[in-house]
Amino acid sequence: MKKISIILLLAAMLLICGCSGSVYDPTLSPKAIDTEAKHAGLEVSIPEPYPPDVTLTFAGCGDNIMYNGNFRDAKSVALEGGRKYNFAPIYENIKPIIENADIAFINQETPLAGEEYGYDDYPYFNSPQDLAYDIVEAGFDIVNLATNHMLDAGSQGLVDTIEFWNTLPVTTIGGYLNEEDFNNIRIIEMEEIKIAFLSFTYSTNGVSLRKGFDIVIPYEDADVIREQVIKANELADLVFVSMHWGSEYSFKPNTNQKNLASMMAGLGVDVIIGHHPHVLQPIEWVESPNGDGHKTLCVYSLGNIAAEQDNDYNYVGGIITFDIVRKKGEITIESPILIPTVYYFNRSFYKNSVHLMENFTEDMVKSHGLSYYGKSTTLKRLRSYVTNTISEEFLPDYMK
């Protein structure tokens, strides 16, 4: 919780009231107060009025992972005279939520280095750059690049990925061309509210940056996180941190996640947006260990927004939504709700699309590509991954 500081010279006001022999009227305008002060022989610095009350909306998605099936599907639905790959159908069902949010975030798991690197999926990913256009057109404003796969196309592949994203009308975090770029903290300003975005990843899967490259990989280092958060707090009203962390396929945050979340709460971080486990993890308000009353909204993992993986729990993710509210100068994070999603593709790995769980049907469960792996699931089971993990206070009414 942060406030826009306004200093009122109360003592001077009391003197004004005493000299005039009248009761102070809080409805007096700054001009009237100044006139009263001059009559009393006082100099009063009139404070600036509060900026107007305002509410901004935020929406955030987890891991966006492209597999070979996605490439084939996107190529098969490419528009005549358009780009070679069309990934837009993947996001069609969630586009209204993303477009209508004032700020929308997504974790782009896979590099977009360019066709010359070859397109492939696990274990070394590289996806068509056409994907980025569809992400931007879906309404996303903030794209995270700091993941364990960010060096899958090599050091030059990461450079080419960053430089390509820099040509688009979107803000990227987590991929920095050099030290100066890393220290240029990304700040989004809307309605006179400044929000700083930081990003860190636990690993790059053992792939190291080659010598001669100036790229900065924002590894999950406590000292670096502390330094960046302190700097961000000086520049902005709010600090949001993207964390690529945690244990894969675990529905519970590990000790490291808990410790880092507590540390960041103590530093005044307002929101932590977590990803990497490829399943949902809890959402909670983390109290500052300093006893100062500050609370950080921590989403430990949003799960996958899109991924052709081979277990039903990998298809369940969510969009975290909340309001950024300024009222009488005080800025708070309010009304956080997770909108559950299910990722769909058929047995042939076509018709890739994200669906709101609210609209997902039993027929879609039966035709899901999960059957390709010789597995099955039910709508009840898919919903249980949400209700067993996310506290009711963060769920929409239809999931309670």
pLDDT at 15 over 80: no
pLDDT at 50: 83
pLDDT at 34: 52
Mean pLDDT of the chain: 91
Domains belonging to the chain, first-starting first, are 2-39 (no CATH), 54-399 (3.60.21.10)
pLDDT at 28 over 60: no
- Summarised one tens digit per residue, pLDDT across range 195-220 is 999 999 999 999 999 999 999 999 99
pLDDT at 21 over 50: no
Q: Say which range, 45-59, 176-190, 296-310, has the weakest mean pLDDT.
A: 45-59
pTM over 0.85, yes/no: yes
pLDDT at 33 over 70: no
- Summarised one tens digit per residue, pLDDT across range 38-70 is 566 666 555 667 889 999 999 999 999 999 999
- Summarised one tens digit per residue, pLDDT across range 97-109 is 999 999 999 999 9
Distance CA 96, CA 114 (A): 29
- Summarised one tens digit per residue, pLDDT across range 341-370 is 999 999 999 999 999 999 999 999 999 999
Whether residue 268 contacts residue 294, with contact meaning beta carbons closer than 8 Å, is answered with: yes
244-258: average pLDDT = 98
- Which carries the bigger pLDDT value, residue 231 or residue 13? 231
Distant-in-sequence, close-in-space partners of 305: CB < 8 Å, separation ≥ 6: 61, 62, 63, 64, 94, 106, 107, 317, 319, 341, 343, 354
Pairing status of strand 238-244 against strand 193-201: parallel
pLDDT at 49: 77
pLDDT at 2: 42
- Summarised one tens digit per residue, pLDDT across range 107-162 is 999 999 999 999 999 999 999 999 999 999 999 999 999 999 999 999 999 999 99
pLDDT at 158: 98
Distance CA 392, CA 389 (A): 9
Neighbouring C-beta atoms of residue 125, cutoff 10 Å: 21
Whether residue 217 contacts residue 209, with contact meaning beta carbons closer than 8 Å, is answered with: yes
